[in-house]
Amino acid sequence: MVTPDLAPRNGAPPATRRGGPAFDATALIGWVALSAVLPGAAHLRAGRWRSGLLLLGGYLTVVVAVVCVALGADAGLAGRALGWLGQISLVFGACAVAWFWLVIRSYVVLRPGRLPRRGQVLTGLVAGVLAVTVAVPFAIAARYARVSEQTLDSLFAAPAGTGQAAGVVRQEDPWAGRDRVNVLLLGGDWGDNRIGMRTDSLNVASVDVRTGNTVLLGLPRNLEHVRFPPGSAMAARFPFGFQLPEYRPGWREDLLFSVWQYADDHPELFGGRRNMGAEVLKETVGYTLGLRIDWYALVNIWGFAKMIDALGGLVVSVDRDIVYGLHDEGVVRAGTRRLNGTEALWYARSRTFSDDFDRMHRQRCVLGALLSQADPATVLTRFTEIAAATRRMLSTDVPRPMLEHLVPLAWKVKHAAITGLQFVPPLINTAYPDWDRIRLLTAKAIRASEHARAGASATPSGAPSAPGRHRHRHRNSPPPSPTPVLPSPGTPSPIDDGCGAPSAAMAS
């Protein structure tokens, strides 16, 4: 029905005169809602052809462009996008404002003033809620992009200097002609209430940059008589291996996990340069394995617990009761259960009625569970909490420009074969290590990884050993004598081998 003031004059159609046709409340809100997903629809219905076609044409052009980019997108684009986070945040912020304005403007051009007052109030409220609703996702995306940029900038600040390790990355050859990269993954427990740094967990991820196939090489924290690269300051100080005086009768701390802190405590060995712990440990582990270590990533174990809490817990199959605490005051019960951050931390760290080698196995299980259960939906819904926890838990020397190339590589790793080799007894005697054997087994594991297939099974190396509770090895105590439970020591195995498989219902 056409209102009297919009009656046709001189044969002109009513929809093109003086604001277009009148609508009831339901129709008006329907057109406004349609405009939220198809910009310009309300303008066209109101007879505003020029602005309507401009809005609709611009929207369809953007949609086609986004679809084309999405169809051709790969992990490389995701890596490059990490360098555009500031611009992406601004774009999403602008979209939030634009869509809010679009909904309100669509409501106005339909002339709600023609409705009764009750209809005006009702449709105005609905249009306002709709405007906020369509703007919120863009606002959240803008905030996520901004938080991501701040987090990455704080974690991956390129150090001063020149060369790849200092943040200068050649786009045409980011890997500097190499077919593998090796990253030292460390777990430590630094904090304001602790003195010094002890790297309790030491693993090297050796990644094939072509296929993503990865070997995780685990070194025990209590490795003795550690050797240093010839010609280095530490080798000059310890020509026969890392040995320190007893800090109390029968006890000493000259084990692999102490190398970082020793280097930090003795800047005079490095011409006065301070904070050399990370670089020295990289060189030491690389020399031990016969590899060049490119970067390190150090995870604060207390921040790791906060990360698991931010993810909503971690489902782990616990094969036996794990007792923890200085006075055995806690226990993680056997069974498949969802562990909170503190429980997962103690499950991975406890030495009560076990030892370092059993603990290394449990740490692999926790890492495997984290890799498999940190799904995109969970990360998005808890993004801010995860970002905050990440800032407090991670230290690394990976330069910011390398992220563009490491993100696609991480995507390859996720879909490639990941195996592990733990240098634990009986494979290696930690009190008297066979350094040549360690390097030989490392080389064999890498060669095997080059031909591995994702999902292929392998036989694990090593096994949990006899119980022990000393934090630092007693000088006169014999090395642990573990009882292997699986054959073929020295063969790489899947990272979660022997960890049990939680049910899909529990993990979801």
Q: Cα torsion for 387, 217, 281, 283, to the nearest 10°?
A: -120
> 303-333 burial by CB neighbour count: b if 16+ within 10 A, else e?
bbbbbbbbbebbbbbbeeebbbeeeeeeebe
Could you state, in chain order, the average pLDDT of each consecutive group of 10 residues for the chain (508 residues)?
42 45 86 93 92 93 89 72 87 95 94 91 94 94 88 70 50 81 85 65 92 92 93 95 82 86 93 93 96 91 77 84 70 85 81 72 77 67 72 82 86 86 90 95 93 55 36 41 41 58 51
3-state helix, strand, coil in the chain (%, to 5): 50, 15, 40
Residues 236 and 249: beta-carbon distance below 8 Å: no
Q: Which domains does the chain have, with CATH numbers?
A: 25-156 (no CATH), 180-451 (3.40.630.190)
What distance in Å separates the CA atoms of residue 417 and residue 454, rounded to the nearest whole number? Answer: 4
What distance in Å separates the CA atoms of residue 356 and residue 229, rounded to the nearest whole number? Answer: 26
Phi, psi (5° rounding) for residue 279?
-65, -40
What distance in Å separates the CA atoms of residue 251 and residue 342, rounded to the nearest whole number? Answer: 30
What distance in Å separates the CA atoms of residue 324 and residue 362, rounded to the nearest whole number? Answer: 13
Q: Report pLDDT for 472.
A: 45
What distance in Å separates the CA atoms of residue 180 and residue 168, rounded to the nearest whole number? Answer: 18
Instruction: List, in order, residues 6 or more apart from 227 with CB less than 8 Å away.
Output: 235, 241, 242, 284, 287, 288, 435
Tokens of 266: 């003795």
Q: Report pLDDT for 204.
A: 95
Tokens of 123: 């449709």
Residues 225 and 242: beta-carbon distance below 8 Å: yes
Distance of CA 219 to the CA centre of its chain: 22
Q: Report pLDDT for 494.
A: 57
Residues 251 and 455: beta-carbon distance below 8 Å: no
* Nearest partner of 428 among 293, 289, 292, judged by Cα: 289
Phi, psi (5° rounding) for residue 216?
-100, 110
Q: Report pLDDT for 464.
A: 35
Sign of CA dihedral 277, 282, 286, 292: negative
Phi, psi (5° rounding) for residue 474?
-75, 140
pTM of the entire predicted model: 0.69
Tokens of 443: 């080389």
Give alpha helix (H) positions in 429-475. 435-450
